Amino acid sequence: MKDERTTIGSGGTPGRGNRQTSPSAAARSLATGSPVKRSAAKPKKAAPPTPPPVTPPDGKKPRLRAVTDEDTAAAAAAEEAARSARTASPEPQSGGIPIDEILVAVVQAAQRVLGSDWESRVATLLATVRKRLSGVYEIDEFGFDPEIAAVLNAAVEPIAEKWFRLEVRGVENIPEEGGALLVANHSGTVPLDGLITGYAVKKYAGRDLRLLGADLVFSLPGVGQVARKVGATLACQEDAERLLTGGELAGVWPEGFKGIGKPFAERYKLQRFGRGGFVSAAMRAQVPIVPVSIVGAEEIYPLVGNVPSLARLLGLPYLPITPFFPLLGPLGLIPLPSKWIIEFGEPVRTDAYEPDAADDPMLLFNVTDQVRETIQQTLYELLVDRGNAFF
Amino acid sequence: MSRIVLVTGVAGSFAALVARRLADLGEDAGIGKVVGIDTILPDGDLGGVKFVRADIRTPVVGKVIAVEDVDTVVHLDVNPPQRGRAGGKELNVIGTMQLLAACQRSSTVGKLVLGSSAAVYGSSPRDPAMFKESLLARSGVRSGFPKDIVEVESYARGFSRRRPDVIITTIRAAQVLHPQIDTPLRNYFTNPILPSVLGFDPRLQFLALDDALEIFAQSVVHDRPGTFNAAGDGVVMLSQAARRLGKPLLPLPPFGFAAAARRLVRAMGSDIPPDLHRLLTFGRAVDTSALREIFGFELTRTSEQTFEDFRRSVRPGLMAVLGGRT
C-alpha cells in the first residue's frame, strides 16, 4: 500500500517521481522552485554555448516555452550557424517551436529561390496577385491577356528547350514590327506545334504570335478559354485581316485537321493548304507571308490508327491511336522526346500586288503553291540536317 | 416642320428614357411631339411625352399613327422576355409585324428607327472576334430572343423593300449596363453569386446609358440610314467582371447550364432569360467603326468604363476585400 501511495502522490512536490528518485526534467521546469532541486538540475543541463543558462525567476511561471531565454539563445545560435553556412552541427536541441529558426529558413529559402532582391520580387508578386484578384488588368478585344501568355510561355520553356531540344533558325526573317502572317506545316496529332512556335517567336523575336485556331478549339471547355487569353482567335478571314491590319504577328496552320491528323506513314508530306484564305487575308492587309517549317512535331504522337466512328460520336475530327495512347492510358499522353527544328523562311511579299488582287483566285492559288513548296523543300533539308529523330 | 415621334414600349425603363430625352430636346431639335405607346402603364414619370395605352399587336397602332400624324417611329423595347417565352415572342415579333404594317399604310411616316440588339449575331464558337454589320450570325439564333430579333430585322428589311422612301436606321446595341435599366446582364450581375459555364470565359460588351440615349436621339434628329452596331469599345471578360465586382463565380457544367443557372438565379431572387446562357458561354463582341465613321457618333464610354460605373453603383461583393476594392 505504501508503494502505491508513493508512486501516485509525491508529498506535495510536483512531478511523477517518488521521493527516492529525482523528478523528471519537465517536472523540474514546472516547479515553482525548491532550491535543492534546482541545484541538482544545473549540472545536468546541456550547455548552450554563449549565454549563461538563466532559469526563470522564482514565483514567475513561464507559460510559453518559445519565449524563454533558453530558446532565444538557441535561436541565436542557429542563426549564427546558418550565417556561417556550416552544415548542421550536433547542437543541443531545445524543446518548443523554433519560430526564429523557421523564419531564418524561410528568408534563406526566399533568397535562394528568388535571388538577393527577393523582397522586391515578393512584393511584385503580391502586387500582381492583388491586381489579378481585383480584375483591373488590360485585355484586348480578342481577349488576349499578356500576363497569362507570359505564364504559359514560362511553362512551355522547359518542354521546348529540354524535352524537345528546340533549335530555331531564321529568326531574322520575322519582321521586328508591323503585321506579318506566319504560315506553317501542321502535324503531331495534338497541336503542340502552335504552342512551341508561339514560344519560339516570343523568345527569339520578342513578339507575341497570335494563333489562328479551328472552331473546335473554341468550343472545347477550358481549351477555348485559355486559347483566347493567350491570344488565339478563330481562323477566319475577318479575324486574320483584323489582326494583320492591326500590325500583329498572326500564325496560321492552313493544313488544319488534315495535316495534324494524318497517319505517321505520311509524315512531312504537306496536305492541301486550305483554300488559300490565308493568302487573301495577307494580300488585303498588305503584309508579308513568312513560311515556317517545323520538323519534329510529327514524331511526338505517331498516329498509327484512327477510330472514325467514335470520333464522329464525340464530335471530333479524328480519334487518334498511337503506339502508347490507349495502351498505356494517361502515360501515353506524354509526347515522345523528338528533336525539333523550326525554320522561319524568307518572307513572301504581298505588297507588290494590289489589295484587289485578293479577289483573283488564280493568283491566290499560285502564291499558296509557292508558300507550300517553300515549306516542303525546307522540311526535306531540315530532315537531312536533323538526322535521327530522337538522338 | 417639326417631327411627331412615336416611341413604342415606353413602359420599359430604357424606352421611357429615350422618349423623355426626345421630348426634352423639343422644338429646338425639331421635335414637335412625342407619343409613347405601350400595353401597360409606365412606372415612372414620362415628362412631356403623351402616353397612349394601346397594344401594338393589334391594328389600333395604325389608328394612333393616323390620328397623331406620326412621321417618325422609334421601335424600342424589343427585349428578352422576363415573363414566359410565348408572351415575349408575341410582343417582339407580332408587335413588329403589326407596327410595320401600319407604317407601310401610313402616308406620313418617313423614318423608322429600330432598336435592335447585338443578339442578332448569335453566339457560337465559330464567331469571328468582332462582328461587323455585314456579317451574319453563324449559329445560336435558332431559338429564344436571338431568333426573335433576327425575325424582327427581317421584317424591317421587307418593309424597307416595300417602302424605299422611308429612312430606316437599325441600331444593333449591346446590352445597356446601368442600375436603373432592366437588362438581362444587369439582372445577372446583381446576384451575389454569378453562375458561369465551366471552362468558358466569354468576352462581354456593354453600352453606356448616355451613349445609347444619344445614339437614338441623333438617329431621330438627323437622317442616318443604315445598320449600326453600338457597344462600348473593348471587351470585359466575365471572370474579370466578377473579380471587379468581388463576386464569386460558380462554374457549372455546360450541359444543362441554362436550367441550372436559371434555377440558381431565381433562388437568389432575380431572374435571367433562358437564352442568356449562350452569351455566357461564348460571348460576343461587335465592331463599332461604322457608328464612328458613317453614323458620326463618338462613343464616350468604353465597355470597361461602363462596367466600372455600374460597379460603383452596386454593393461590393463577398470577395471584394481580396482585391482591395471595397
Question: For chain B, what percent of residues have pLDDT higher than 70?
Answer: 94
Domain boundaries, chain A: 96-137, 146-300+335-386
Check: CB of residue B171 under 8 Å from CB of residue B225: no
**Bridge partners for A213 per DSSP:** A234
**Bridge partners for A342 per DSSP:** A168, A294
Query: Strand B194-197 to strand B167-173: parallel, antiparallel, or no bridges (unpaired)?
Result: unpaired
From the CA of A93, how many Å to the nearest CA of chain B?
40
Fold of B3-176+208-232+285-300: Rossmann fold (3.40.50)
Sorted by sequence, the CB contacts under 8 Å of residue A52 that are 6+ apart come out as none
State ipTM.
Answer: 0.87
Check pLDDT > 60 for residue B90.
Answer: yes
pLDDT tens readout for residues A344-364: 999 999 888 888 888 889 999
Lowest average pLDDT, out of A55-69, A70-84, A178-192, B35-49, goes to: A55-69
Reported confidence tier of residue A342, pLDDT bands at 50, 70, 90: very high
CA B140: distance to chain centroid?
A: 18
- Determine the Cα–Cα distance for residues A329 and B130; give it in Å rounded to an integer: 40
Determine the Cα angle at B279 with ends B274 and B280, to 5°: 85
Question: For chain A, what percent of residues have pLDDT higher than 70?
Answer: 76
Q: How many helices (DSSP H) and strands (DSSP E) are in chain A?
A: 16, 9
Reported confidence tier of residue A76, pLDDT bands at 50, 70, 90: low
**Closest partner CB to B199 (pick from A139, A221, A229):** A221
Reported confidence tier of residue A1, pLDDT bands at 50, 70, 90: very low
How much is the mean pLDDT over chain A? 81
Q: How many helices (DSSP H) and strands (DSSP E) are in chain B?
A: 12, 11
Q: What is the pLDDT of residue A90?
A: 47
Q: What is the pLDDT of residue B84?
A: 47
Averaged pLDDT for residues A71-94: 54
**Closest partner CB to A142 (pick from B125, B129, B199):** B129
Lowest average pLDDT, out of A21-30, A153-162, A279-288, goes to: A21-30
List the single best residue of A211, A238, A242, A243 to mutate versus B (max B Cβ within 10 A).
A238
Q: A347 is written with which cell numbers?
A: 518572307
How much is the mean pLDDT over chain B? 89
Residues in B whose CB is inside 8 Å of some CB of A read 124-130, 132, 135, 197-201, 203, 233-235, 237, 239-244, 254, 282, 285, 319, 322-325
Contact residues, chain A, for B234 at CB < 8 Å: 139-141
List the single best residue of A225, A242, A245 to mutate versus B (max B Cβ within 10 A).
A225
Lowest average pLDDT, out of A15-19, A154-158, A166-170, goes to: A15-19
Contact residues, chain A, for B325 at CB < 8 Å: 134
Check pLDDT > 70 for residue A64.
Answer: no
Contact residues, chain B, for A228 at CB < 8 Å: 201, 203
List the single best residue of B200, B284, B302 to mutate versus A (max A Cβ within 10 A).
B200
Averaged pLDDT for residues A155-175: 93
Helix, strand and coil in chain A, % to nearest 5: 50, 10, 40
Contact residues, chain B, for A139 at CB < 8 Å: 234-235, 237, 240
Contact residues, chain B, for A143 at CB < 8 Å: 129, 201, 203, 235, 237
* C-alpha closest to that of A198 among A236, A237, A146: A146
Fold of A146-300+335-386: Glycerol-3-phosphate (1)-acyltransferase (3.40.1130)
Averaged pLDDT for residues A72-101: 60
Domain boundaries, chain B: 3-176+208-232+285-300
Q: What is the pLDDT of residue A135?
A: 84
**Closest partner CB to B243 (pick from A135, A142, A224):** A135
SS (H, E, C) B222-281: CCCCEEEEECCCCCEEHHHHHHHHCCCEEEECCCCHHHHHHHHHHHCCCCCCCCHHHHHH
Query: Is the CB of A218 less than 8 angstroms away from the CB of B201?
Result: no
Q: What is the DSSP letter of B58?
A: S
- Determine the Cα–Cα distance for residues B146 and B158; give it in Å rounded to an integer: 18
Residues in A whose CB is inside 8 Å of some CB of B read 130, 132-137, 139-143, 145, 215-225, 228-229, 233-234, 236, 238-239, 242
Sorted by sequence, the CB contacts under 8 Å of residue B54 that are 6+ apart come out as B37, B38, B39, B60, B61, B64
Query: Is the CB of B128 less than 8 angstroms away from the CB of A234?
Result: yes
- Roughly how many angstroms between the first and final C-alpha of chain A, as a whole number? 83
Averaged pLDDT for residues A49-70: 51
- Determine the Cα–Cα distance for residues B231 and B219; give it in Å rounded to an integer: 16
Check: CB of residue A227 under 8 Å from CB of residue A218: yes
A211 half-sphere exposure, CB direction, 13 A CA radius:
30
Check: CB of residue A19 under 8 Å from CB of residue A25: no
Lowest average pLDDT, out of A39-43, B297-301, B311-315, goes to: A39-43
